[in-house]
Amino acid sequence: MSLPATSSDGFWSDTGKTGIASWIFSTDHKRIGLLYLYSVLGFFLVGVLLGVLLRLELMAPGRTIMGPQTYNATFTVHGVVMIFLFIIPSIPASFGNLVMPIQIGARDVAFPRLNLFSWWLYVIGAVIVLTALFTGGGPPDTGWTFYVPFSAKTGTNVSLAVLGVFVLGFSSILTGINFVTTIHRLRAEGMTWGRLPLFVWSLYATAWVQILATPIIAITLVLVFVERVVGTGLFDPSRGGDPIMFQHLFWIYSHPAVYIMILPAMGVISEIIPVFSRKPIFGYKMIAFSSLAIAAAGSVVWGHHMYTSGMSDTAILVFSFLTFIVAIPSAIKVFNWVSTLYKGSISLEAPMLFALSFVLLFSIGGLSGLVLGAAATDIHVHDTHFVVGHFHYVMFGGTGFAFFGALHYWLPKFYGRRYAEKPALVAWALMFVGFNIMYFTMQVLGIRGMPRRYYDYLPEFARLNLVATIGSWILVLGLIILLVNLFRGLFRGEAVGANPWGGATLEWSIPTPPPTENFEEDPVVTHGPYDFKGAGKP
């Protein structure tokens, strides 16, 4: 089944079109995956820049580099860019497209043209969002959550921004439909559900959430748009509407959306850990099942964002209880990863370091999530920097670090060259240290009562804020080293063969870089994804 690695350029050369058209009109899942990858990376850098500006403003009390209105706009745009343009499409749309079809033994996704259309919708949505920053009343200042009544009243350009997010949601739905259909219909012979790589399982669960949750935010944003344009009054108390209904509708999507963000990352970790421990994954079935369980349970916990909204006490109790249930499948995964490491022959290379830091950072984020899930404690830390620290731990420490791990793990396969190991380790160490200095400090600040979304604070918070800001510099320094080393390596680094890490999933059985059609002949799968006996040694 495994084919010899050839020295051809694979999908890089073998195409009918030329120049830029061979990319932006390509229906090859690998090219679309790379298009997504560079788009989300670009927006990630924009978001990081804005985040660093936020931290600079908070470096000292009072006005440091910007005033209140600019600060409001900056954290809103930082949030919108990071959530809708970076993290939701990050792993599923880039690495999902790049490797999922190969991992199931397919030549492409089920609907290649729809796949290209999704990317175009993403670009169009992004352009609309960016246009909103420079037109109308200026960049939105509502926070990424667009809460009414403020979002219905503010003079900034919220209308265009929600329209852009609507289009981005449509793009996300189409990717979801495409992936579910692909995984059902295009698995190679012998690729049973029990042999699906766990990354594919996680994408499968994610895709369902994308399909089932995204329409709700679509209609919610439409309502905000209509409210602003014609004033239907559906959320306006002076005309009988109820702003809390907005919060319900918003979080019915946006809570499941955090599982769109984290599940694919968990999939990446489930691929990296067994390969770098040279041991089959512990508890394959439970990891696969817990992805679905997280997706299902995660759909009914949205109310935990609303404990202080004035919703009924019964509802608070029920949502609090349900929230604790989501912790179970998440913990199952963590325990399984740790058990996989046990007595493994662990090699601490860059992808593995990112994977291991994922496990730690995600656990810190998850445990602080329990503090927020319990209504009694949440009421004290709601809307403080504790929350900001919490979601950066899960989204950045979790998904972000998994994304960096995936960059190091899979990109050499597609470029045929790899990064240098030493600088990658330095970059990882700086990022890990900087990250914890910044966000752990923010959590402490939150517990002491520093609210989120303010450009100024009381003098007693000054010292810790300075520490957090210094952390952000260390983090960014690490990030720069990481990206320079990674991309220099991909273009000029040492060449790699078909299977540099000794993985057993199908993508390592084909030549590097993969040919346009992925497989010379339709593969027949005879062993599980973590059965390393037959796989080549690194």
Partner 1 sequence: MSHPEHKDYTGAKFGMWLFLFTELLLFGGLFILYATYLTRYPQQFAAGGKELNVVFGTANTVILLTSSLFAAMAVTSVQKGDRTTTLRLLGLTVLCAAIFMVNKYFEWSAKIHHGIYPGSPRLGSAPLGESVFFGLYYVTTGLHGLHVLVGAGLLSWIGMKVNHGKIHQGDFVTLENGALYWHLVDLVWIFIFPLYYLIL
| Alpha-helical regions (H) of 278-309 | 284-297
- Identify what 185 binds: partner 1, ligand HEM, none; CB under 5 to 8 Å per kind: partner 1
User: How many CB atoms are closer than 10 A to CB 60?
Assistant: 16
Stretch that binds partner 1, among 87-95, 218-226, 330-338, 383-391 (CB under 8 A): 218-226
- Identify what 186 binds: partner 1, ligand HEM, none; CB under 5 to 8 Å per kind: partner 1
Query: Is residue 15 within the footprint of partner 1 (CB under 8 A)?
Result: no
Binder among 194, 231, 310, 534 for partner 1 (CB under 8 A): 231
Burial (0-12, 13-18, 19+ Cβ within 10 Å), 96: buried
- Residue 394 CB, nearest distance to ligand HEM (Å)? 9
Largest CA distance in the chain: 71
Q: Which residues pair with residue 494 across a beta bridge? A: 418
Which residue lies nearer to partner 1 by CB, 220 or 363?
A: 220
- Identify what 181 binds: partner 1, ligand HEM, none; CB under 5 to 8 Å per kind: partner 1
Picking from 311, 154, 290, the residue whose alpha carbon sits closest to that of residue 243 is 311
Residues that bind ligand HEM (CB under 6 A): 47-48, 51-52, 54-55, 75-76, 78-79, 82-83, 86-87, 143-144, 388, 392, 395-396, 400, 452-453, 472, 475-476
Query: Is residue 232 within the footprint of partner 1 (CB under 8 A)?
Result: yes
Which residue lies nearer to partner 1 by CB, 246 or 432?
A: 246
Query: Is residue 226 within the footprint of partner 1 (CB under 8 A)?
Result: yes
- Written as one string, the DSSP assignment of 314-365 is HHHHHHHHHHHHHHHHHHHHHHHHHHHHTT------HHHHHHHHHHHHHHHH
- Residue 449 CB, nearest distance to ligand HEM (Å)? 14
Q: Give me the torsion for CA of 267, 216, 166, 398, rounded to 10°.
A: -30
- Identify what 215 binds: partner 1, ligand HEM, none; CB under 5 to 8 Å per kind: partner 1
Contact 415, 490 (CB under 8 A): yes
- Residue 323 CB, nearest distance to ligand HEM (Å)? 19
- Identify what 466 binds: partner 1, ligand HEM, none; CB under 5 to 8 Å per kind: none
Question: With b meaning 16 or more CB within 10 Å and e meaning fewer, what string describes 122-155?
Answer: bbebbebbbebbeebeebbbbbbbbbbeebbebe
**Nearest residue relative to ligand HEM (C-beta):** 51
3-state secondary structure of 396: helix
Q: Containing H/E element for 491?
A: helix 462-492
- Residue 516 CB, nearest distance to partner 1 (Å)? 9
Binder among 16, 19, 240, 459 for partner 1 (CB under 8 A): 240
Query: Is residue 300 within the footprint of partner 1 (CB under 8 A)?
Result: no
Binding residues for partner 1, per CB under 8 A? 107-108, 110-111, 114, 173, 176-178, 180-181, 184-186, 211-212, 214-216, 218-220, 222-223, 226, 230-234, 239-242, 245, 248-249, 252, 517, 520
